[in-house]
Amino acid sequence: MCGLIGCTGVKCAAKILYGGLEDLEYRGYDSAGIAVLEKGKIVAAKRKGRVCALKTAAEELCGTSGIGHTRWATHGRPSDENAHPHTSGRFSVVHNGIIENYSKIKEELEGEGYEFSSQTDSEVVVHLLNKYYRGDLKETVLCAVERLKGAFALCILCEGYEGFVAVKYRNPIIVGYGSGGALYAASDMPALAGLSGSVAVLKDGQIAFASEGKISFCDFYGEPVCLTFSPVPAAARSTRLGGFPHYMIKEINEIPAAVKNTAHAFAEEKCFAALSRAAKKRGGFGEIFMCGCGTAYHSALAASYFAEAELGIPVRAETAGEFRYKKSAVGGGTLFVAVSQSGETADTVEAARAAKAAGAYVVALTNVPYSALTGIADTVVPVRAGTEICVAATKSYCGQIAALALLSATLKGGTAYSRTLADLKEIGAKCSAAISDCGVEDVARACASSSGVYFIGRGIDYPVALEGSLKLKEVSYVPGEGYPAGELKHGTIALIDGGTLAVAVITDRSLGEKTASAVEQIYSRGGRAAVVCAEGCAPSNLAERADFIIEVPACPAYLSPIVSVIPLQLIAYRTAVILGRDPDKPRNLAKSVTVE
């Protein structure tokens, strides 16, 4: 949800900022902009569209300090005018987040004669800075942030100050030291990986002043604060395509490593001990709530099937956006698991905050160890999928299922944990086999020419069907839905006609016949069907009749979502490519949804 970058003390700020924006583009690609201090004066360039649209204009900028922005539009459509940075007087600002009270401030500022050149909420920030400036930059920033409500990470440039200011409240910002006195800030680690030796993650209510080789910090009351710097995590470093045509297919190929590294990390970070201790201290958990958004919700939903069966207590999965506004009965006996690749999704972070306030024990299950979610949680269960650049989540979903399986096994006790570790060791090879052998091209062609694709499954195959449908929609824009196989006949079947394709997921032999009946109902209405099944799980009559059949290696039922999702991810990827879409940057989306 918008990417920010700032730098000072470098030879050519615009060049660094442009490179950083390319790394941050997954956070939004509606427009991009850069402002630099050229001979003490602010000079800006901004363009609607992808970062590459800014290239020529960026090459004309010089100066050693600057700020940059890549936008995911919230207030105001994508346009040159609404692109950041916004400038007023001696200030230029880039913003990630939402200023909730912007209308009131805008009215006040307009009344005082400030002219707005955009429809964004962000522009109020720069006019406030201009309004409060009396010669002291720190005082000015403190006065401006005091007025703001909502969520904001900011980078500020000010004529007369050779450097930049970074502000953090509910949206991420990281600062770092580079070589030769260079200083940096960015929304995320990968943008700093090649630039900074050591980095510090700002907490809510902190401000960094970066100038002349030094970064100093204060809080929103102006009191100095100390931050700990540490090296950039190794996982943030490898974000290049490495011969793959797209990040989506690269990241699907990284699923075996994601599962393996997640299992290692669970042991390394002593999650077993922390979770066992917490369960013991609370006399065991009476129920588990798992929350996430989009793909993370789907992994939580899949886990709710195996965890409830394993633990014999109610395990519920809910979308974080619903949970946070509901009068839920979570309390001291609840284990609340917040699942999020980025650890920054606003709804998931707020749901975790609400659960914690209600007395639940909160686990953050995330791929980003320095995220907002980890700051709230009682325990962090790491997902080690590595940096995920493609906007559509793939390897992180599989890493999440692996981590959730280990969490469930830990709570079960006895031999469950060692059994799960052993099962996960076998999964990597099965995933590799699914990636290289499952042959999705014909199904992808059928999807590309379908008016709608319905993904169906029963039991643990249902969340996988939901995930298959989400993946196809978001990267190829082919309409579709995920449905429990038994529910199709209760209404949605009215949509089935000759242009419809159904994809049935079957990994449980005992439910195969049931799902096969749903497929028969689709055939009877003229639709076509593809069956994605674990080896030997499709009933023979269905295997013979299906228009397409894709087999993946069989594995223990609770881990099947890790393997059975792979053909669905590949179908979505190939459909997008066949239709000429960019699977890495689907329209209207951004990877981290840090606003409500």
- Check binding of 474 to ligand F6R (CB under 6 A): yes
The token pair at 156 is 């500020």
- What's the min distance (Å) between Cβ of 492 and ligand F6R? 22
Q: State how far the Cα of 22 lies from the Cα of 3, in Å rounded to an integer.
A: 10
The token pair at 589 is 């989306």
Mark whether 218 is an active-site residue: no
- What's the min distance (Å) between Cβ of 191 and ligand F6R? 17
Q: Which residues pair with 41 in a beta bridge?
A: 38
Q: Are 339 and 348 in contact (CB under 8 A)?
A: yes
- Check binding of 294 to ligand F6R (CB under 6 A): yes
The token pair at 356 is 């914690």
Span 389-408, contacts to ligand F6R by CB under 6 A: 392-393
- Check binding of 345 to ligand F6R (CB under 6 A): yes
- Check binding of 296 to ligand F6R (CB under 6 A): yes
State the number of binding residues for ligand F6R (CB under 6 A). Answer: 15
* Nearest C-alpha neighbor of 207 from the set 197, 215, 199, 217: 217
Nearer to ligand F6R among residue 171 and residue 345 (C-beta): 345
Mark whether 131 is an active-site residue: no
Cα Rg of the chain (Å, integer): 25
Could you give the count of Cα atoms lying within 13 Å of 310 in the half-sphere of its Cβ? 26
Contact segment (CB under 6 A) with ligand F6R among 153-161, 272-280, 291-299, 549-557 equals: 291-299
Of positions 8, 88, 262, 341, contacts ligand F6R by CB under 6 A: 341
Helix (H, G, I), strand (E, B) or coil at 172: coil
Contact segment (CB under 6 A) with ligand F6R among 111-119, 287-295, 484-492, 521-529 equals: 287-295
- Check binding of 87 to ligand F6R (CB under 6 A): no
Question: Which residues fall within 8 angstroms of residue 574, CB to CB, at 6 or more apart?
Answer: 440, 441, 444
- Check binding of 295 to ligand F6R (CB under 6 A): yes
Selected catalytic residue, list 2, 293, 398, 533: 2
Of positions 207, 210, 293, 427, contacts ligand F6R by CB under 6 A: 293
Helix (H, G, I), strand (E, B) or coil at 262: helix
- What's the min distance (Å) between Cβ of 339 and ligand F6R? 7
Q: State how far the Cα of 589 lies from the Cα of 596, in Å rounded to an integer.
A: 14
The token pair at 321 is 């956006």
- What's the min distance (Å) between Cβ of 469 and ligand F6R? 11
Q: Are 124 and 154 in contact (CB under 8 A)?
A: no
Q: State how far the Cα of 318 lies from the Cα of 341, in Å rounded to an integer.
A: 16
Max CA pair span of the chain: 80
- Check binding of 472 to ligand F6R (CB under 6 A): no
Helix (H) or strand (E) holding 364: strand 361-366
Contact segment (CB under 6 A) with ligand F6R among 269-277, 308-316, 336-344, 572-580 equals: 336-344
* Nearest C-alpha neighbor of 565 from the set 484, 477, 455: 455
Span 576-595, contacts to ligand F6R by CB under 6 A: 592-593
- What's the min distance (Å) between Cβ of 402 and ligand F6R? 15
- What's the min distance (Å) between Cβ of 394 and ligand F6R? 8
Per-residue binder mask for ligand F6R (CB under 6 A), 503-542, x = binder: ----------------------------------------
- What's the min distance (Å) between Cβ of 475 and ligand F6R? 8
- What's the min distance (Å) between Cβ of 353 and ligand F6R? 14
The token pair at 320 is 């974080």
Helix (H, G, I), strand (E, B) or coil at 521: helix
- Check binding of 502 to ligand F6R (CB under 6 A): no
Of positions 88, 342, 408, 450, contacts ligand F6R by CB under 6 A: 342
Q: Are 126 and 106 in contact (CB under 8 A)?
A: no
- Check binding of 349 to ligand F6R (CB under 6 A): no
Contact segment (CB under 6 A) with ligand F6R among 114-122, 293-301, 356-364, 529-537 equals: 293-301
* Nearest C-alpha neighbor of 344 from the set 373, 313, 381, 377: 373
Distances (CA, A) of 502 to 75, 146, 482, 524: 38, 54, 10, 12
Instruction: Enumerate the active-site residues.
Output: 2, 591
For ligand F6R, the binding residues (CB under 6 A) are 293-296, 340-342, 345, 348, 392-393, 470, 474, 592-593
